[in-house]
Structure formats: structure tokens, C-alpha cells
């Protein structure tokens, strides 16, 4: 599955009301570390298809969504389960580190 582009109009439906855990990547086009982890996030979307939904929020286009979760640095990854933020990670990371982050919090 590919990543879902999230914004203020679909965030509740795609994340809060999701029966599947959702990994949300808060990012921006100008952010170097965001660009570095983007291919890893895309791989996670494929590898965890059916287990975890992966969504992306552009913080410049959707500042209200980022503010509602106190995102002040990017990239920030937040894992949601049953509509609740259960884990958060800030900064770039390797595939093994991100997989451990997901697996430890599922």
C-alpha cells in the first residue's frame, strides 16, 4: 500500500477513526532529514501493508494538524492506535530503528 496524504479534512477519518494502527510522518518539502527518511517510510508502507497504515502530513500545508499534536521539529513520526497517539519519534532513523519503533509499539 502507498502512503496516504493526510490533511485537516481527512485526518480524523484516516487516522483517528482507523481500525488499523497508523504511522504518521510529519514532514516538509524543505526538510533534509525528511527527504532522507522518505524512501524508508515508503518501504515501511509496503512491508507493513495490512498491519500499519502510513500517512504523511506536510506541516507547511497543514500547520493546524501539526500543532494539535505539538509537533515542533520534523521529521516527527507518531504511531496511532485506536485513535490515540501511543508513541512518538523525532528525527531521521534507519530502517531497523524505525521497524523497532513500530514493532515495540504495536
Nearest Cα residue to 27 out of 87, 83, 71, 81: 71
16 has catalytic annotation: no
Nearest Cα residue to 103 out of 90, 91, 87, 92: 87
Active-site option among 4, 24, 34, 74: 34
C-alpha cell at 68: 494539535
31 has catalytic annotation: yes
Cα 50-51-57 angle, rounded to 5 deg: 90
Nearest Cα residue to 57 out of 103, 1, 106, 3: 3
SS3 state at 15 = helix
Active-site option among 4, 22, 31, 65: 31
Catalytic residues: 31, 34
Amino acid at each position: 500500500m502507498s502512503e496516504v496524504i493526510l490533511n485537516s479534512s481527512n485526518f480524523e477519518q484516516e487516522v483517528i477513526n482507523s481500525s488499523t494502527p497508523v504511522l504518521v510522518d510529519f514532514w516538509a518539502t524543505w526538510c533534509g532529514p525528511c527527504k532522507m527518511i522518505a524512501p524508508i517510510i515508503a518501504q515501511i508502507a509496503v512491508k507493513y501493508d495490512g498491519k500499519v497504515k502510513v500517512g504523511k502530513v506536510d506541516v507547511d500545508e497543514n500547520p493546524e494538524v501539526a500543532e494539535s499534536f505539538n509537533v515542533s521539529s520534523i521529521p516527527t513520526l507518531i504511531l496511532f492506535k485506536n485513535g490515540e497517539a501511543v508513541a512518538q519519534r523525532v528525527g531521521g532513523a534507519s530502517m531497523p530503528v524505525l521497524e523497532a519503533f513500530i514493532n515495540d509499539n504495536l
